[in-house]
Amino acid sequence: MEDNYPYRVVAWWTSGRTGLAKCISAPNAIHFAAPHQFGGLEGRWTPEDLLLGAIASCFTTTFRALSEYSRFEYADLEVEVEGTIRKVESGYSFIGIAISPKLTIPNEEGRDLALRLLHKAEQLCLVSRALSVPKTFEPRLQVSRAVPIA
């Protein structure tokens, strides 16, 4: 089993007020825009939505893996993730993210294990943990040398 698992997403601004993001693990690109409050188009995923969606989906898949490993059966899991953005001195920033899982279990006897697994999923979710990881920034510039079309 490998030690490193690279993931890559490429995003580009297509035109006007929308962009596309694509990865190699999914066949469809995602259309995104800035939030409507910041002049973006309605009806599109925003970077903020995608971040919260990544946290929710990571929590869900992490919990599923933990419950499978523990042979814990549950009826349903719904994970709501809400983030709040506020204008601060340096610009806009998330000031809080709340993860609210709602787990339906078949009987009362599973309550303690259910709570332990929910807490463990929150601790192990790779996306939540990635928010505090050091990032590198490597800008590249390209000068276009337009060739006149005859």
Q: What confidence tens digit (pLDDT) does each residue in 83-131 have?
A: 999 998 999 988 899 999 999 999 999 999 999 999 999 999 999 889 8
- The pTM for the full model equals 0.85
Work out how many domains the chain is built from and give that number.
2
29-33: long-range pairs with CB below 8 Å, 24+: none
Separation CA 111–CA 105 (nearest Å): 8
User: 30, 45, 60: which is the final residue of a domain?
Assistant: 45
Is residue 75 located within the same domain as residue 59?
yes
Indicate the range of 2-11, 124-133, 135-144 predicted with least confidence: 135-144
Do 62 and 123 belong together in one domain? Answer: yes
The domain that holds 99 is classified in CATH as 3.30.300.20
Tell me whether residue 74 is in a domain. yes
Q: Is the pLDDT of residue 139 over 90?
A: no
Q: Are residues 32 and 70 in the same domain?
A: no
Report if residue 149 sits inside a domain: no
Residue 141: pLDDT band with limits 50, 70, 90:
low
Whether residues 72 and 91 share a domain: the answer is: yes
Which residue segment(s) compose the domain that 123 sits in? 46-130
The answer as to whether 107 is a domain residue is yes
- Report which of 27, 15, 23, 75 is spatially closest to residue 54, judged by C-alpha positions: 23
**Model pLDDT, residue 135:** 77
Decide if 137 is inside a domain: no
Do 121 and 74 belong to one domain?
A: yes
pLDDT digits (tens, 9 = 90+) for 42-92: 889 999 999 999 999 999 999 999 999 999 999 999 999 999 999 989 999
Q: For residue 55, tell me if it sits in a domain.
A: yes
**How many CB atoms are closer than 10 A to CB 67?**
20
